[in-house]
A = this chain, B = another copy of it.
Amino acid sequence: MALVVQKFGGSSLATPERVISAARRAIAQFQAGNQVVVVCSAQGDQTDQLINLAQQIHERPSPRELDMLKAVGEQMSIALMAIAIHKLAHEAISLTGAQAGIRTDSFHGKAKIKRIDTRRLQQELARGQIVIVAGFQGVDSEDNITTIGRGGSDPTAVALAAALGAERCDIFTDVDGVYTADPRIVPEARWIPRMDYDELLELSSLGAKVMQSRAVELAKRFGVALRVRSSFSDSEGTLVTDLSGEMEYVDVRAAALDLNEAKITIRHVPDQPGVAATIFSEIARANVNVDVIVQNVSERGLADVSFTVMKEDRLLALDVARGLAEKLGASGVESDENTAKVSVIGIGMRSHSGVAERMFRALADEQINILMISTSEIKISCVIEAPNGERALRAVHRAFQLDKDNSDRT
């Protein structure tokens, strides 16, 4: 008997009707002869409402207590989902993160899953129950409730699928799969039937809000097949697996635009060995994720070091950068929120050349200036000025003919 994990996001559970509709999907899998584990996020924008409640009392609530409060959202969802399945005359039982054996570290608000003790889960599955698990939460070694960070129900679902040896993990969301670009910006964007983990990974870190990177990484590491699909339609969604062994005719699978980055520059840093290490280890210590990094050596052994961070981390990163500038004898620090990042991704790039050239040409043809460039084996990103963002995305999408049907070529 195969096991399928289904994860429902907040919008998929926002109303009683939607909870019941999600319950039907769980039952359909069960009736198809599978064991079913359902992972639920908090309903709608409840997590934000809970944070707001706390902030009415304290602007900066303690992370432990905020986790205690936020965990409530998923606990409500799982109870309601179990009740909905009962209403539809099937057996179901809900389990909190703690009850489902999800053990994490103690980093409240950003905890990582360390292991899953699946005994209770196995036991309930063996009893013929559809098992509903609260996403986003676990407990640390002292049984304190932790949360796994924003969007943290995806990692929960994938980790459960891995721990239970699931055949597939269905991620139900409000989009009906992954597209070659955001259709709100690029109307001719196309649905992608299959893609590789690495491609989704790059896309997820590029502002295409399909899935959390951590969840995709986990899926890749444990070989969990993901299907990203819509709660609101019967489209088959996008199947995400390891395609690296397959013949591949597609160089670029998708393009993306990320408007959530801010650029920070430290001017005139003495260009000595170890300076970059000093800078970025200090920034990492502040728990700020750095994306693109560019270092230009200018005259007299001085370098400008620029990097991008998520906008919400900008002030924190600026603080750290200013301290560093003083310590290193740099001349100053600047920041720019008015940037965008346009990217193309595709594992086919590994075996196709000329992709970077084509991208730069597409931007140049639109008279769009490139501020920073970052490349990986399967991705090219250009940081540009924000007002050019959407135009750049459309130009790049066109240049790689992503609007053409290529499903027969995958």
Contact = CB atoms under 8 A, between A and B. Distances in A.
Interface of A: 16, 19-20, 50, 53-54, 56-58, 61-62, 64-66, 68-69, 71-72, 75-76, 78-80, 82-84, 86-87, 93-94, 96, 98-99, 120, 143-145
Contacts of A57: 16, 19-20, 80, 83-84, 87
Given A57-B20, A61-B86, A71 B75 contact: yes
Contacts of A96: 68, 145
A72 B145 CA distance: 13
Given A65-B93, A71-B75, A96-B145, 11 more contacts: A16-B53, A16-B56, A57-B83, A57-B84, A58-B86, A62-B83, A68-B94, A69-B79, A75-B75, A98-B98, A98-B143
Nearest to A62: B86
B76 A50 contact: yes
Contacts of A66: 79, 83
Contact of A75 (B64, B72, B79, B94): B72
Contacts of A65: 79, 82-83, 86, 93-94
A64 B68 CA distance: 21
A93 to B, nearest CB: 7
A389 to B, nearest CB: 39
Contacts of A143: 98-99, 120
Contact of A93 (B64, B82, B99): B64
A53 B68 contact: no
A58 B72 contact: no
A275 to B, nearest CB: 40
A109 to B, nearest CB: 13
Interface of A is mostly: helix
Given A94-B65, A98-B98, A53 B75 contact: no
15 contacts: A16-B57, A53-B76, A57-B83, A57-B87, A58-B84, A58-B87, A62-B83, A65-B79, A65-B82, A65-B83, A68-B79, A69-B79, A72-B72, A72-B75, A99-B144
A79 B51 CA distance: 11
Nearest to A134: B68
Contacts of A145: 96
Contacts of A120: 143
Interface centre among A16, A58, A72, A87 (most CB of B within 10 A): A58
A74 to B, nearest CB: 10
A53 B80 contact: yes
Nearest to A20: B57
A84 B93 CA distance: 34
A217 to B, nearest CB: 30
